[in-house]
Amino acid sequence: MHAKSSVELTSEQTKFCTVTQYDVGEEYTVTDSWLLLCVCTAHCVVGHTVSVLLQPRAVNVDLQTDAMLQVDISDALSERDKVKFTVHTKSTLPNFKQNEFSVVRQHEEFIWLHDSFVENEEYAGYIIPPAPPRPDFDASREKLQKLGEGEGSMTKEEFTKMKQELEAEYLAIFKKTVAMHEVFLCRVAAHPVLRKDLNFHVFLEYNQDLSVRGKNKKEKLEDFFKNVVKSADGVLVAGVKDVDDFFEHEKTFLLEYHNRVKDASAKSDRMIRSHKSKNLLNAFYFCKFFLKVSELFEKTRKIEARIAADEDLKLADLLKYYLRESQAAKDLLYRRSRALVDYENANKALDKARAKNRDVLQAETSQQLCCHKFEKISESAKQELIDFKTRRVAAFRKNLVELAELELKHAKGNLQLLQGCLGILKGNT
């Protein structure tokens, strides 16, 4: 076991743990005599032993396991606004120098790997796995800091209870961040073509910093304009009827599917915020206004917190992932439609060149290149879309069944609490 922490005193009352690293399955005990607010990983509870398992699966994308190349994130280290992921690889492929190795990577390096796939013309006919979202711990850090500042207005029990709940919330976000980054790597490792990419092998094996930086304002502005141009071009391309009925059907379906998932994702976020707003009501106010039933309301509040966490993991994360992956599938169809338009334009240009008997060889070469690109994309795209359907149906079935089971469990718990509350109010217990 190796747990590393450096503690700095940022005020007279609160100590903030700036760096905490943990291993899979290991246990840690925090013995600080006062308060240790883990601003970075927020999973330490004063005087208690905490067991942390870094094997969360916020989103199940039904990945196929392959003994030839297995990738996972074994450890994670949080340093203020950065998260360092230890990427662990097992492989029997001859491309790698060793059969088992680990490297440390940051979020920007995951984005670099994703962008390298998107920008590579060779992968135009494949669904590029969506990039993991950027780690965002600002809201939880702010809550922890406010809790430290408001310590004097609470009793010791209230303060300890709120601290533990915020720490649990922070750890849930941290675990989810790790899971989303791992899902991206597993999707790439499971793909028969992307797994062979040189940049992916460098990402997994090169044990030094990749010297990848985040995009500056100019580069972000360029990306914005590229997206605007792509959106405008997409509108033009969308009006072109596909020559293949399979792809025409997939294009229509994916547009509708993507919009439905987007709408469901937004609504699930509102639902979860509603549950969290109930959870965030301070126990202090419950005790003040509902003295006789404060314990029952407190239990209800905890159930609401668990409901929100389950919905976040089983529903919201699933919707967000497939919102991004359906966008990746739409991008694939856009690239194919763009190639089809280019092919048709090349055919027209060739007919004109032959009619004028000028630049015929150049027009034929251009037409052949466009034809080859279109056929290559079409060949791989059909199987990609079929695999995408199989993957998403299995993932939604699994997560929605598990969510329904958890909702039933929580509903029974709420029913028991309400029955108990009614019994107390009626004076029967």
| Structure tokens that stand for 360 in this block | 């015929």
Is residue 76 predicted with pLDDT exceeding 50?
A: yes
Q: Is residue 112 part of a domain?
A: no
The CATH number that applies at residue 310 is 1.20.1270.60
- So what's the pLDDT on residue 383? 92
Confirm whether 69 is domain-assigned. Answer: no
Mean pLDDT of 323-333: 93
- Mean pLDDT across 117-122: 93
CA distance 204 to 96: 9
Q: 82: alpha, beta or left, given left = phi > 0 and alpha = psi -120 to 50?
A: beta
- Summarize pLDDT for 19-38 with one digit per residue, the tens: 333 333 333 333 222 222 33
Nearest to 173 by CA among 143, 214, 147, 203: 143
pLDDT in tens, 36-56: 233 333 333 333 333 333 444
Q: Tell me what the pLDDT averaged over the chain comes to.
A: 77
Instruction: Please tell me the total count of domains within the chain.
Output: 1
Q: Is residue 318 part of a domain?
A: yes
In a domain, residue 311? The reply is yes
Give domain status of residue 365, yes or no.
yes
pLDDT value for 216? 64
Residue 184, pLDDT score: 95
DSSP 152: G
Q: Is residue 42 within 8 Å of 174, Cβ to Cβ?
A: yes
Q: What per-residue confidence (pLDDT) applies to 40?
A: 33
Q: Which domain holds residue 358?
A: 224-429
Name which of 317, 318, 323, 330 is nearest 384 in CA terms: 330
Q: What is the pLDDT of residue 33?
A: 26
pTM above 0.85, yes or no: no
- Provide the pLDDT confidence category of residue 234 given band limits of 50, 70 and 90: low
Inside any domain, residue 269: yes
The model's pLDDT over 132-182, given as tens digits with 9 standing for 90+, comes to 998 877 777 777 777 777 777 778 887 888 888 888 888 888 888 899 999
Inside any domain, residue 195? no
SS3 393: helix
Q: Whose CA is closest to 328, among 289, 400, 381?
A: 381
How far apart, in whole angstroms, are the C-alpha atoms of residue 44 and residue 167? Answer: 7
Q: Is 309 within the bounds of a domain?
A: yes
Structure confidence by residue, pLDDT tens digits, 330-380: 999 999 999 999 999 999 999 999 998 888 899 999 999 999 999 999 999
